[in-house]
Structure 1
Amino acid sequence: MGGKAMQIRRVAIDTHPENTAFLLREGNGYSPEQFQALRKIEIGNGSVSILATLAIVDDNCLLEPGQIGLGEQAFRRLGLPEGSEVTFRQAPVPPSLELVRRKIDGDTLDDAAIAAIIRDIAAYRYSPMEIGAFLVACAGFMTTQETLALTRAMADAGRQMQWPAELVVDKHCIGGIPGNRTSMIVVPIIAAHGLTMPKTSSRAITSPSGTADTMEVLAAVDLPEDRLVEVVRQEHAVLAWGGRVNLSPADDVLISVERPLRIDTFEQMVASILSKKLAAGSTHLVVDIPVGPSAKVRSRREAIRLRKLFEYVGTKLGLVLDVVFTDGSQPIGRGIGPVLEARDVMAVLRGDPDAPEDLRDRSLLLAGHVLEFDPALEGGQGYARACELLESGAALAAMERLIDAQGRRATTLQPGEHRHEVRSHQFGTITAIDCHLIARIARLAGAPMDKGAGIDLLRKVGDTVRPEDVLYRIHAHSDTGLHYARDLAEGDSGYTITP
């Protein structure tokens, strides 16, 4: 790799998910015109290299002449010690971009073409605009064979975990329902039974909390691979953040562009979910598809189409799938946001009398489906076994062991101290709750970044209310967050009340 040798300097800037490099405008022997040509650069030392977007720095406090700064992601991915000498050059244009142009023109791409595109996306050779072009082209039209090829390519592009157990189970919900934290109850039930369930989860992107965000209230989730493997060996399970172990890295890059564009087609959803499960080493998977008027899937007809796509792709890739339709008409549980959701999860595991029944029932249903994969259980006994493990305290004990194995949080987090109660303005019965709007209000309050921010639901569909009855309570750690959430909730509470 040609060019002048430069020393690496770690720059404490989070540029997730992109690699970003920083260079002083003056004092490095390059002209401004050359910088414009070097927007995407390849950095390395002959043995290892990465591609990064170049940002120009005018502050001498950040860098010195002869140094090239690497943001947190780029520094970690390059893997060289700070101060190491590297060179850089303009990154070559990926040949696979021509294949993207073909997809934009309406062509159907073969497996090799899709694999080439995904390899370059996983290597950060595409700009966000180029990734967006690929996603929009795929959203316009994508065959089932292309979806299969996309899933396989995404799984192959990163780390693939393997486990000694022949049966490795998992459960995944397609999302869109606030408070639906069933995985944190299903996993300890399955672990108590003795099946292997290495549950890796993403952090929230557009929701008030993901499984990893909620589990982080109780224990460490950012586990290095060797520690994650050790926890699974010891406890049969884990509840960890998947980003640390590089499972289907192309998926994380695609999601970072999909979300702002609000692209969420069934084809891309299936490829995203199944590629992560394949990479995590799963052999058997329960897929939860909530169906409801404000859920991601709004009709049974859509749900059946999505189920068939999951089954086609999963079967072709050797996964055993059980797709379950559940009620997506309203949030699950009472808490929405990491601390409040963790409270509900532990209440269910402890068997508290005031634990949310819908969260308990949904978790037992899904755990029962997972347990049906066990050939040692008589058919139809999965649900009864799940109930037995929860009611006996075995699941709670498994969760406590799992928390200790991952690293129990030293301090207990509390709900945000700034509060606002949203009240009913009329007599009537609650006939609907807008999941999307409730999630937006919780995020405006600060969830999931502020662990204690979120919403405590006090009324659910079917409840009768009077004027001034409290529908839900907003929690925030800052007055500003509470202000934003309160303004949106006062304009539209998200509740439909029928006289």
Structure 2
Amino acid sequence: MAKSGQMHAFYLGIDTHEEPIVFMRSECDICRAEGFTANTRLQILTGDKNLIATLNIVNPSVLPPNHIGFSDSAWHYLGLKRGQPVRVRHAPLVGSLSSLRKKIYGHELNALEINSIIHDIGRRFYSDIEIASFLTACAGGRLSLAEITALTRAMVNTGNQLHWPGQDRVFDKHCVGGLPGNRTTPIVIAIASTAGLMIPKTSSRAITSPAGTADTMDVLTEVDLTLEQLKRVVTETGACLAAGGKVGLSPTDDLLIRVERALDLDSEGQLVASVLSKKVAAGSNHILIDMPVGPTAKLRDLDQAEKLAELFYGVAAALQLQIRCVITDGTQTIGNGIGPTEEARDVLAVLRNSADAPRDLTERALYLAGQMLSMYSGDSESAALEQAREILYSGQAWQQFRRICGAQGGLKEIVDAHYHSELRAKHAGRLLKMDNRRLAQLAKLAGAPSSTAAGLRLRVKVGDSIVPGQPLATLYADSAGELAYARDYFRQNRDLFEIDIEQ
């Protein structure tokens, strides 16, 4: 019989998507003595580590007597070994939950209250339900500028912070998203770092889109770098194009993003804090923000974009950052590819100056690179744009991109999807517009971004003349079921390609 709540760790190999879960037998002596039931919040202690986890009750055949099973995330967070002794007890009161309830009822939080919430989330003291409650309470413009600033600082303080001795200006670039195919970042970073800018670029994987920059770069090179690897790559090449997961920059933000993804939620205040906390943690202090605006983009109109830009500028001023927000055209998809692999093909085509490189992606990347170069040099935007063109068209950007990828582990071979299908027009006419949100949904139903080869390749652009039977796009998937599911969605949503039908 176990004494004083002591049990032995048992690895069950269950992926609970980062939420810490533990499993105990229904006839366990400790369960009966302590009154533990399914969904009880427990504190697990071992050595100098502890976390709070949710209890699931299992059939006695699943676990040996006097053993407690762990989900993958709980096991790895505690650094357990099979059979290791652990202590189990009722979870203590999490003090910051009172601050969470205060926010739920619509009250403003001070910096100390926000810091305590973020600190406890980082220590794995919050369940996914509690994290979702926090995110929901902060959505819909319910965070003040002071709260967003405090949230940004709190998220920076939960993880590693990079410093670049001798560099007083360190750059970064971010797009607020909502525009499929807008994969300008790898191109911009290659151009700008060629010109001498230091850019320790880390990116998140997709939250609500069919691909994030990290997903696309993962098709082309290694992106899951350790902190030391990231420092080495930046020291060698002046830049990197890495995922943010392993380096531990604002790690609590990664926990929030995981739940945001499940909620399909990306609120303004949380977005600003997420973006700027990771830039500050990476040591960047000069940041370019791309803000696409369009009727089916994340930012629907100019008023919404200006409101978000005001929040960015306000928090940046409080944190002593130099930023530039640029409002760009978000009325239609950029490039021809949607999904990690198809967007990677577009990135390579632009960098290689290929004849089939999408012109809209090329021009957009050049414009943003020119904006960043102008921030760096103080030159006029037109002069900086011409410098960006010279770097791209001379092949210097491609050479620099290869250097960065080489330092990160080398360029990978692009792998094709197993299945594809042409999505064809029924009628003749002219393409008036495309629905960005439903195009993104179509790519996600095909399996993107978890299946990196899944997605779309557009065959038409707004303004093109269409004939019956003409391919509008090619749909890619890694399973026949996902392909069929996505095709059904297209059949029910043909108007996502709005065609002015000829009479």
Aligned to 1:206: 208
SS of alignment partner, residue 469 of structure 2: coil
SS of alignment partner, residue 170 of structure 1: strand
**Contact 2:208–2:265 at 8 Å: present in 1 too?**
no
Shift of 1:439: 0.7
Tell me if 1:362 matches 2:334: no
Aligned to 2:169: 167
Shift of 1:243: 1.4
Aligned to 1:79: 79
Q: How does 1:267-282 map to 2 (within 5 A)?
A: 267-282=269-284
**Contact 2:39–2:56 at 8 Å: present in 1 too?**
no
Structure 2, unpaired ranges of 5+: none
Distance 1:128 1:236 in 2: 38
Aligned to 1:136: 136
Aligned to 2:333: 331
* Amino acid corresponding to residue 239 of structure 2 in structure 1: A
Q: Structure 1 residues 81 and 211 mapped into 2: Cα distance closer, same or farther (>3 Å)? A: same
**Contact 2:119–2:158 at 8 Å: present in 1 too?**
yes
Aligned to 1:482: 483
Tell me if 1:106 matches 2:106: yes
Aligned to 1:311: 313
Describe the superposition over 1:178-236 as per-residue Cα deviations: whole angstroms up to 9, x where unpaired. 11111111121122222211111111232111111111111111112211221111111
* Amino acid corresponding to residue 95 of structure 1 in structure 2: G
Q: Structure 1 residues 223 and 465 mapped into 2: Cα distance closer, same or farther (>3 Å)? A: same
Shift of 1:125: 1.5
Q: Structure 1 residues 10 and 397 mapped into 2: Cα distance closer, same or farther (>3 Å)? A: farther
Distance 1:244 1:28 in 2: 39
Aligned to 1:468: 469
Q: How does 1:47-66 map to 2 (within 5 A)?
A: 47-58=48-59, 60=61, 63-66=63-66
Q: Structure 1 residues 428 and 252 mapped into 2: Cα distance closer, same or farther (>3 Å)? A: same
Distance 2:89 2:310 in 1: 47
* Amino acid corresponding to residue 47 of structure 1 in structure 2: D
Name whichever of 332-341 and 65-74 sits farther off.
65-74
Shift of 1:59: 6.3
Structure 1, unpaired ranges of 5+: none
Aligned to 1:88: 88
Shift of 1:433: 0.6
Aligned to 1:404: 406
Aligned to 1:297: 299
Name whichever of 162-171 and 127-136 sits farther off.
127-136
Shift of 1:126: 1.8
Q: Structure 1 residues 68 and 224 mapped into 2: Cα distance closer, same or farther (>3 Å)? A: farther
Shift of 1:248: 1.9
Name whichever of 329-338 and 81-90 sits farther off.
81-90
**Contact 1:15–1:73 at 8 Å: present in 2 too?**
yes
Aligned to 2:182: 180
Distance 1:414 1:444 in 2: 19
Q: Structure 1 residues 111 and 350 mapped into 2: Cα distance closer, same or farther (>3 Å)? A: same
Shift of 1:368: 1.3
Distance 1:76 1:414 in 2: 31
Distance 1:214 1:439 in 2: 15
Q: Structure 1 residues 382 and 20 mapped into 2: Cα distance closer, same or farther (>3 Å)? A: farther
SS of alignment partner, residue 373 of structure 1: helix
* Amino acid corresponding to residue 407 of structure 2 in structure 1: A
SS of alignment partner, residue 109 of structure 2: coil
Shift of 1:42: 2.2
Identity %: 45
Report how many residues are paired: 495
Shift of 1:83: 4.4
**Contact 1:38–1:90 at 8 Å: present in 2 too?**
no
**Contact 2:425–2:467 at 8 Å: present in 1 too?**
yes
**Contact 2:170–2:197 at 8 Å: present in 1 too?**
yes
Describe the superposition over 1:350-408 as per-residue Cα deviations: whole angstroms up to 9, x where unpaired. 00011011111111111111122324x64433222221211111111111122221113
Name whichever of 77-86 and 187-196 sits farther off.
77-86
Q: Structure 1 residues 474 and 59 mapped into 2: Cα distance closer, same or farther (>3 Å)? A: farther
**Contact 1:458–1:473 at 8 Å: present in 2 too?**
yes
* Amino acid corresponding to residue 400 of structure 2 in structure 1: A
Shift of 1:414: 2.9
SS of alignment partner, residue 350 of structure 2: helix
Q: Identify which of 235, 249, 252 aligns with 1:250.
A: 252
Distance 1:389 1:431 in 2: 35
* Amino acid corresponding to residue 433 of structure 1 in structure 2: M
Aligned to 2:499: 497
* Amino acid corresponding to residue 352 of structure 2 in structure 1: R
Q: Structure 1 residues 217 and 106 mapped into 2: Cα distance closer, same or farther (>3 Å)? A: closer
* Amino acid corresponding to residue 309 of structure 1 in structure 2: L
Distance 2:121 2:280 in 1: 19
* Amino acid corresponding to residue 41 of structure 1 in structure 2: L
Aligned to 1:68: 68
Aligned to 2:192: 190
Distance 1:79 1:196 in 2: 35
Name whichever of 81-90 and 183-192 sits farther off.
81-90
Shift of 1:159: 2.1
Shift of 1:151: 1.7
SS of alignment partner, residue 452 of structure 1: coil
Tell me if 1:18 matches 2:47: no
**Contact 1:170–1:198 at 8 Å: present in 2 too?**
yes
Aligned to 2:443: 442
Distance 2:299 2:394 in 1: 35
Aligned to 2:225: 223
Distance 1:418 1:218 in 2: 21
Distance 2:96 2:109 in 1: 11
TM-score (norm. length: structure 2): 0.93
Distance 1:32 1:482 in 2: 52
Aligned to 2:289: 287
Aligned to 1:415: 416
* Amino acid corresponding to residue 492 of structure 1 in structure 2: N
Describe the superposition over 1:252-276 as per-residue Cα deviations: whole angstroms up to 9, x where unpaired. 2223333443433322221221122
Describe the superposition over 1:338-357 as per-residue Cα deviations: whole angstroms up to 9, x where unpaired. 11111111110000011011
Tell me if 1:347 matches 2:331: no
* Amino acid corresponding to residue 97 of structure 1 in structure 2: L
Distance 1:191 1:245 in 2: 21
Describe the superposition over 1:13-36 as per-residue Cα deviations: whole angstroms up to 9, x where unpaired. 322232223333345643287322
Describe the superposition over 1:454-493 as per-residue Cα deviations: whole angstroms up to 9, x where unpaired. 1010001111112111110101121101100100111113
SS of alignment partner, residue 332 of structure 2: coil
Tell me if 1:44 matches 2:45: yes
**Contact 1:38–1:89 at 8 Å: present in 2 too?**
no
TM-score (norm. length: structure 1): 0.93
**Contact 1:20–1:70 at 8 Å: present in 2 too?**
yes
Shift of 1:82: 4.5
* Amino acid corresponding to residue 247 of structure 2 in structure 1: V
